[in-house]
Structure 1
Amino acid sequence: MILLYNIGVRSYYSLLFIASFFNKKAKQWINGRKAQSFVRYPGSIWFHFASLGEFEQGRPVLEKLKEKHPGRKIVITFFSPSGYEIRKNTHLADAVYYLPLDTDANARRFIESVQPNMAIFTKYEYWYHFFHNLHKRQIPLYIISGIFRPEQVFFKWYGGLHRRILGFVSHFFLQDDNSKRLLQGIGINNATVSGDTRFDRVWANAQNPKPLLEIAAFAGDSKVFICGSTWPADEQLLAHLITKHPSYKFIFAPHEVEEARVAELAASLQVHQVLRYSHIVESTVLDEYNVLIIDNIGMLSSLYQYGHISYIGGGFGVGIHNTLEAAAFGLPVIFGPNYSRFKEAKDLIPLHAGFSINNENELETVAGKLINDETFYALASQNAAEYVERQKGATEMILAHINA
């Protein structure tokens, strides 16, 4: 099984290498790992995140550990370029790297070079050689905000190697009771249901958001519909709302912000007064526009403070993106049909704070109800914010165990 795993890892690298000749992200993934040299930080705390979303999810634990242990170094690794490129200069870490390819030699070299005495992985990513080498060196390894589903390989008859990987973890901090039952079913009992640290992160952000003066000027006295992490399938539906609800202004923050992608979005909305964020200059009269496109990464979590209703993209693809950032600000959230893997979306629906739609007519019905029925909107907004507030507290539970 180890042989097959190693072949799979090498094959993945080979495919990315080929893709790097014509795909920007694949090229970053390959080139970013080529020239890395690791600084030795004995006794450091190593955090690994798959991408930017997991960084934000694990950030509350990172910040608290840094606050409680100011003398200890923090080392961060990312698997994805979308996390590394945006957070490679974060003030929260003493060093930020791409996670090397999961081979035994790479894992030994990284751990022996950095010399951490604790490793924390957020939500998922289970790498055999890194976990095995941490285990051999008796370095505690924690999974925070972990979540498991029955269809995952760990719970299949052929998942023996992957179950062995789970056995290298010192303790699991899980999002829900179902995940704990699944682990217990395969003989893993070192798990605590602590909740999802994302709630701590988004709640803290909503209490003290970063002001965005250009966004405030664009919004003016109008109500704002924020379309976050959208894809073309989402935008085709949303475009119709702009004409039907002229009292609202619309902000689009597409999931991908490459020039061709943003230009395509702007062209599809050209019947409206559309402005790209990067085109704002001192002389721009922002309140003359009714559609703003955010063509950068990193603003979305602060945008929601200026919103009233939100649409979260991805539900017509592999799955919806982060609904909690909007809900924390009391924004009702609308999303497409592919949300079954997202507990928070399933929780928001019966609270009438989250709404799943399948087509343009359903989107118009939900949006119209929220826009025109003030009582319905007020209850949805209140329920969204209260749901996030009730769920926070995972960070303190995790820290109490780690520091015990």
Structure 2
Amino acid sequence: MIAKLLYNLFAYPALSVAAHIAALFSPKLREGLRGRRRVAGQARAFRERNNTARVVLFHCASAGELEGIKPLAACCRERGFVPCVSYFSPSAKTALGPDSFAFADFSPFDSMHQVRAYLRALRPETVLISKHDVWPNLVWQCADMKIPVWLINGNFRGGSFKRWPGARAFHRAIHERLSGILTVSEEHAERARAIAGKHVFVASVGDSRFDRVLARAREQRNPLDGRQSILEQKRWIIGGSTHERDEILLLEAFAQIRHDHPGLGCLVVPHDPSESAVGRIEATAQQFGLTCAEVDRTTTAPDVLIVNRSGILADVYRYGTLAFVGGGFDRGVHSVIEPMAHGLAVICGPNTDVSREAQEAATEHLLFEITAADELVRIAADLLHQPMEDAARKFVMLRAGVVDRVLDTVLPRHAA
């Protein structure tokens, strides 16, 4: 296979060298490289303790995708299988939790030798890749070793480079070795067929993230337990997973909104929690004449409250009246279904092309794209006057129920 030869002789070595150079300047990359060096040994040790387990291996890119496969992992347990997970980004560790997976670690380096060593050590019965993190040697080695390997929650965006003439042949060489592809919609299924070819099973079953966010919202977790007295002092606009441009626009608008709603506060959860993010938000708040404090460092409710923690945003939305979701002025809006599961309408920047559910929510007038602060002021005033709790929750509920459809397809037989 020419694609396999070219990838292993040229593309992968070049990627590896580039990653090691970039890691000199990125702590997150360094952590990932260190973790990948030991994954086969960790998998082997796990297998020695669980020799007879029927392992299902999930693979995902980062925290958001990992959240989406948790309900699948739970259902695997109910069917007698042992769910394990590999992930690409260190951020996934923030979403793991104590009991979701029997084994969790970084994915191996995508060389033939290291992927094969990892699969031989872990011995999964099935491999389920979530969304788009499809690594060539992971697919090829699974196929060569007769391990069923599926792409689930498949997301194939229009205009993807995978469909470009030069890239299509390479990506077909990967996707045609999959056991099947389960996509989030029929539109994405059609794009998958164009890439994978007519011999690969492709079906539209939906996105398991809806099951996860709905279940998590129903759990009614209190991630800011102990700060309840502060939160009860105001109603809150939640700025979720914000970047710098989101924060400037949100706080500029909020400075105007609060004049008509003096009992309203703005709770901001930055996309990359850090001391620099806190300083950035504090400076922006001061610029617009707003008081500001971190939730763990105040006893009274300021105008702007910062939650500088990872892994709890999906639960923080429970405190909100309205959500502003970040990313819409950057690479693309972040999860809009997390706030909607709590009954919040969503406002965001204009870049929603990466999110099918954002576009569908906009069509149903549950999500509103803005480009300027005055638009946010106007739309927020309408939504604060007329909340959309039932409609937002219903949007998520109608798209849940995906887990059984996926597992009935990829795991047809219960474990003993």
Q: TM-score, normalised by structure 1?
A: 0.91
* CA–CA distance in structure 2, aligned partners of residues 393 and 26 of structure 1: 36
Q: How does 1:232-247 map to 2 (within 5 A)?
A: 232-244=244-256, 245=258, 246-247=262-263
Displacement of 1:277 in angstroms is 3.0
Change (3 A) 1:268 1:58: same
Give the corresponding residue for 1:274. 292
- In the alignment, structure 2 segments of 5+ residues that lack a partner are none
Please state whether the residue corresponding to 2:398 is helix, strand or coil. Answer: helix
- The answer for the alignment partner of 2:123 in structure 1 is 115
Asked if the contact 2:181–2:192 (Cα under 8 Å) also holds between the matched residues in 1, the reply is: no
Aligned equivalent of 1:28: 31
The separation in 1 between residues aligned to 2:171 and 2:208, in whole angstroms, is 25
What are the superposed Cα offsets for residues 27-82 of structure 1, whole Å, 9 maximum, x if unpaired? Answer: 2122222344233335311111100000011111011112221xx43321110111
Gap change, CA 1:386 and 1:154, over 3 Å in 2: same
Q: How many residues align?
A: 391
TM-fit CA distance, 1:188? 4.5
CA distance, structure 1, for counterparts of residue 84 and residue 397 of structure 2: 30
SS of residue in 1 equivalent to 2:351: coil
Give 1:299's match in structure 2, choosing from 294, 307, 312: 312
Structure 1 stretches of 5 or more lacking a match? none
Q: Which residue of 2 aligns with 1:386?
A: 394
TM-superposed deviation, 1:350: 2.1
Deviation of 1:367 after TM superposition, in Å, equals: 1.3
Could you tell me which residue of structure 2 aligns to residue 345 of structure 1?
A: 358
Distance 1:73 1:17 in 2: 33
Give the counterpart of 1:143 among 145, 148, 151: 151
Whether contact under 8 Å (2:88, 2:106) holds in the other structure is yes
**2: CA distance, partners of 1:96 / 1:396:** 23
Deviation at 1:11, TM superposition (A): 2.1
Deviation for aligned residue 1:19: 2.2
1:86-125 Cα distance to aligned partner (Å, 9 max, x none): 2466322222221112111111111111111111111111
**What is the letter of the counterpart of residue 133 of structure 1?**
Q
Q: How far does the alpha carbon of each residue in 1:105-154 deviate from its partner, in whole angstroms, 9 at most, with x for none? A: 11111111111111111111111111111111211112211121342344
Query: Closer, same or farther in 2 for the Cα pair 1:56/1:230, shift >3 Å?
Result: same
Match of 1:323 in 2: 336
Structure 1 residue 221 displacement after superposition:
4.9
RMSD: 1.9
| Deviation for aligned residue 1:164 | 1.7
How far did residue 2 of structure 1 move? Answer: 3.0
Match of 1:175 among 184, 202, 211: 184
Give 2:43's aligned residue.
39
Q: Take 2:404 and 2:83, find their aligned partners in 1: how far apart are those partners?
A: 19
* Displacement after TM superposition at 1:305 (Å): 0.9
Equivalent position of 1:201 in the other structure: 212
Q: Distance in 2 between matches of 1:177 and 1:297?
A: 34
Structure 1 residue 10: Cα displacement: 2.4
Indicate which of 225, 229, 243 corresponds to 1:213: 225
Task: Tell me how far apart the structure 1 counterparts of residues 335 and 227 of structure 2 sit (CA, whole Å).
Answer: 20
Answer whether contact 2:333 2:348 (CA < 8 A) is retained: yes
SS at match of 2:363: coil
Separation (CA, whole Å) in 1 of partners of 2:118 and 2:391 = 46
Aligned to 2:19: 16
Question: How far did residue 382 of structure 1 move?
Answer: 2.6
Cα distance in 2 for residues equivalent to 1:345 and 1:89: 27
Question: 1:35 and 1:403 mapped to 2: Cα distance?
Answer: 29
In 2, Cα distance between the equivalents of 1:403 and 1:20?
A: 38
Aligned with 1:253 (options 269, 285, 296): 269
- Aligned residue among 169, 172, 175 for 1:166: 175
Residue 198 of structure 2: aligned partner: 187
Q: How far off is 1:330 after superposition?
A: 0.9
Q: Tell me the amino acid that sits aligned with residue 155 of structure 2.
A: I
